[in-house]
Structure 1
């Protein structure tokens, strides 16, 4: 962007906004796009720094009242000129451009009040460069901190319930149709008080056996330590893999590009969750058999 005149760049388009955007909308759009193209988040993309620079320049100019006013005036003039050019043939366009060029040259060197719109905009840009934009610095710091937090979560130890299944045992004779007094509903009643259950399956072939997955480690630990089940036929809970396992996230969660209010998105999310739960149950059945 440094090689391109600022008046030849549509700063609003860079932020996916229109000239009528409010300052709040400008800052919001900047944060959203900056989080996506920040060099720290795209170390292998040589164009990321340039894109981030363009966003920062757009924020700097469009959040400064004087600079934005000068820029908008030039932008509107260029749009009006485009419309007029469509109505003129090539010869008249050349005459008009020559006249405008001579007018600019005649006005150059005069006082600030006689500067062209482009010259006024250039003066505002130079002022911003000298003064520096406090708002831009604050927004860049905010974006960088958010990215650092996001990248930090990539290696943060997290709980994966599929790696931390708990085996449940109790006494039950092979011919006992009541399975020692336990079924899925009864087990769920005992276990749900510790926390959310991701999946629970009673072995279809092996009496006195079940597997359960909890949504977090705390629930799992408490269930193993405290749950005894029926007094007349106590439960024994233990880790399937001898001890709990922590892993790391493969990707950091970010804002969805589709609104949470979007009905279709919600339906698809529910379907994916149901499919995932069914997959876990099938895996647990295979392990038990």
Structure 2
């Protein structure tokens, strides 16, 4: 079987020395002229003999109309494929160049901000940025919750026998003794998590023991709601417990119902989900880098 692949890279017209529109007479004339220079009887060079055999193949193909048409279609398909590949390579090259430019730009931004930083330090920087930039949103939400509680409890004033000093609440969270951020809590952001439940009578964050604070609320309702529902930062939740015995439950008429704290729970769930997504996104970005 003849291997047509050997003709893939051979221009039979150029080999003989004619244009691709030449007629049979012109092809034969050109063949005879070129064949004289490489005929084995006149030229003993092995390369000349190889060229002579290629000329014979070219003559046979180009002087047969059916074989010539098939060869022309074969060469046309080859050129079209080469053209498509060049276009594709051009597009690929442009995409590659655009990608490299974007990566270079992103790398320069990261280098200026994260130069010589460890993944942990980068995450710490991003976490602090997110908490700072979103503090206004949290403050707005806390104010809305505070207003909702004020409306919910306006008909249930504080009991005359409620003594906040006898019902203090201890707040605990995870914090290493050498942690300068104190687990992410301080005397500015921690009260903001708490005062949405009601007025705070006293608040102290321990300067000696990391991860602890004490709070007193003006009303029993506010204190009970804070103990039951406040979790603080989702990545380092708060644990709130009574110092001493918990206060006795109020009568049914003054008990906080589900409708009273429904808006609070919904907002807390939304905030927790937003924080979780932000933290997950930053972790993924750190892993990619």
Same fold (TM over 0.5): no
TM-score (ref. length: structure 1): 0.30
Indicate the structure (1 or 2) with the bigger Cα radius of gyration: 2
Tell me: higher relative CO, structure 1 or 2? Use CA pairs within 8 A at least 6 residues apart.
1
Q: Which has the higher helix share?
A: 2
